[in-house]
Amino acid sequence: MLEDRIDPVKLRHHGDADTHPGMLDFAVNVQGIAPPEWLRRRLASRLSDLGRYPSVADTTAACRAVAVRHHRTPDEVLLLAGAAEGFAMLPRLAPRLAAVLHPSFTEPEFALRAAGIPVARVVLRQPYRLDPSAVPDEADLVVLGNPTNPTSVLHPAEAIRALRRPGRTVVVDEAFADAVVGEPESLAADSAPDVLVLRSLTKTWALAGLRCGYFLGAPDLLARLGHGRAHWPLGTLQLEAITATASPAAVAHAQRRAEALASSRAAMIERLTALGVEVHTPARGPFLLLRVPQGERLREHLADQAIAVRRGDTFPGLGPNHLRVAVRRVEEVDRLVAAIRSSDVWGCPVRAGADPARPNGPHDRNAVHDRNQCTTETKEGGR
């Protein structure tokens, strides 16, 4: 539906605003605090080239590397200074009506609205599965994520293909696709004339500060997106990073990390569920969507314990009792679980006779809690 009252501040809120130096960071989905050593060495080897402008040869090499990685041709690749630049380009497609599926990353909606493009929000309700019939027929641009941030839902590729219509362009944000083992639902290798796939190097390679990504799509669509772009849009280090991470060795490295992440995610889900936290599953991304009682109060308590989690109420369709947490190592999850346990939100009164062996969490079905302090319902997103 078209929305009359939209909060642009919420649309522009991202996880980096929820964390600060020195905090244990569950708010930002970047894996690690720096690129792997081999990639740092590769980038450092180009520092002596920074006195020269980025070369055509470097740009060509990066396009070719990405094309080979995704079984495309180089003219189906548009290199970007981060996925956010790709979203900022979408208004150049001049859609009459853009449909943005939610809950999801809000930057594309912000970019479209800022350019005066009419936007229809298609809000998926739990379990947040894609229903192509929910998208307005008149929408000639559809934007969605896969896997979706923040729900961690991986939509079937066939369901995404079902969004295609004559005169419509479908944009799939696959910023987290390389964190999924085997990338089974990716459309990156599909050379459909009306599908654009957006990729980011930020998350898997811990390159948020370098801003690297790319569009994959039909050459005519890419030409429209890149129209009027500044000369030398990417620097030498960005081009080197894109080339390096598209190599077969790097892709294999990313898949090993995806396998390790899947194991960590399963263990984290088990820990949080045992505590009584409602975790949305199945989850396929490097993050989890949680629903807790008194989410704002719990988030503030965690911040007091120097732990940052991502607030969920800025995602359309979610409320203040939703939180997003990045998948982290076991010792970091230990700290998160201990901090949640120490919150008075998790210290609600339990009736006599409740099973003391079960986690004393707000969703313990054997416990009756004081709803004045431990309500599990919200007006915005609860049930």
In tens, the pLDDT along 230-286 reads 999 999 999 999 999 999 999 999 999 999 999 999 999 999 999 999 999 999 999
Write down the mean pLDDT value for the chain.
89
Which has the minimum average pLDDT: 55-59, 62-66, 119-123, 375-379?
Answer: 375-379
pLDDT tens by residue, 102-116: 999 999 999 999 999
The model's confidence at residue 363, banded by pLDDT at 50, 70 and 90, is: very low
| Alpha-carbon span 353 to 89, nearest angstrom | 60
**Rounded alpha-carbon distances, angstroms, from residue 180 to 147, 186, 189, 240:** 8, 9, 15, 24
* Bigger pLDDT: 250 vs 202: 250
| Alpha-carbon span 261 to 257, nearest angstrom | 6
Percent of the chain with pLDDT over 90: 82
- Cα torsion 90, 31, 180, 245 to 10°: value is 70
The model's confidence at residue 157, banded by pLDDT at 50, 70 and 90, is: very high
| Secondary structure class of 119 (helix, strand, coil) | strand
The model's confidence at residue 16, banded by pLDDT at 50, 70 and 90, is: confident
- Which structure tokens are listed for 169? 């362009």
279: Cβ contacts below 8 Å, ≥ 6 apart: 269, 272, 273, 288, 289, 290
Helix and strand tally (H, E) in the chain? 13, 13
* Bigger pLDDT: 112 vs 32: 112
Quick one: pLDDT at residue 378?
34
Quick one: pLDDT at residue 347?
61
Quick one: pLDDT at residue 32?
85
pLDDT tens by residue, 69-90: 999 999 999 999 999 999 999 9
